[in-house]
Amino acid sequence: MRYFIEFAYNGKNYHGFQTQPNASSVQETLTKALQLLIDKSIEIVGAGRTDSGVHARQMFAHFDTEKAIDSSYWLPKLNSYLPKDIVIYAIFEVKDNAHARFEASARTYEYYIHTFKDAFLEDISWYCFQQLNVDLMNKACQILFEQTDFECFSKVHTEVFTFNCTITEANWKQNGNQLIFTIKADRFLRNMVRAIVGTMINIGAGKTSLEEFKEIIESKNRSKAGFSVPAHGLFLVKVDYPFLENK
């Protein structure tokens, strides 16, 4: 039987979601906790690969087991096995071929910035001291909808078949000293959101024009785009699946 788990994590203490040698990961931590309950080796497949230090408010993964799972028993038990920075929200059975990564139809990220120094936000928001033109940054968001190839925002030497992504939502919202950038797309490239935010910071600070922003995207050259903002302000906030729309 195949099961989905819905979970969240604070990425501060992890080198990303994916298991890797000699580094702590969310995937490895989840796998060990599940294996304690199932008492058998399993493989967890996540909806994506968040980078080191990136957080997730909603993430999904699937795994297979011959053991029937009673969610009311397993959920509190599994959470008790996990460290305080990872929480499981739900465990539920899905069709045998449901895939946490390949069947995700969209993902939504948010990036958090605070413009006045705050000792309590340092782990979950990036402090940007520059004066930013948010209206101009929102105009830059409109340019993203006109484009499909975002190679200029991708980490170099990434093994992907295409740099095409369809962005369906992108906007900046300001609430006092807090700025939130929201972006939704069918897929994302490695480092894409952080590179977009960094480039838009340059637009808001008056260092890059809207016309130059369009030229950067069309250049497909990472070196022409802006800096990558720090990972700790980035959150994966939603993963969409067609078969979970009414769940």
Catalytic residue numbers?
51
CA 181, CA 183: separation in Å to the nearest integer? Answer: 7
CA distance 143 to 215: 11
The whole-angstrom separation of Cα 54 and Cα 126 is: 12
The string of DSSP codes covering 44-87 is -EES--PPTT-EEEEEEEEEE-SS---HHHHHHHHHHHS-TTEE
- How far apart, in Å, are the Cα atoms of 73 and each of 70, 97, 151, 193, 200? 6, 25, 46, 38, 47
Cα dist from 168 to 63, 84, 89, 143, 182, whole Å: 30, 34, 27, 12, 11
Q: Find the DSSP H helices in the chain.
A: 26-38, 71-81, 134-145, 192-204, 210-219
Per the CB < 8 A criterion, the answer to whether 91 and 5 are in contact is yes
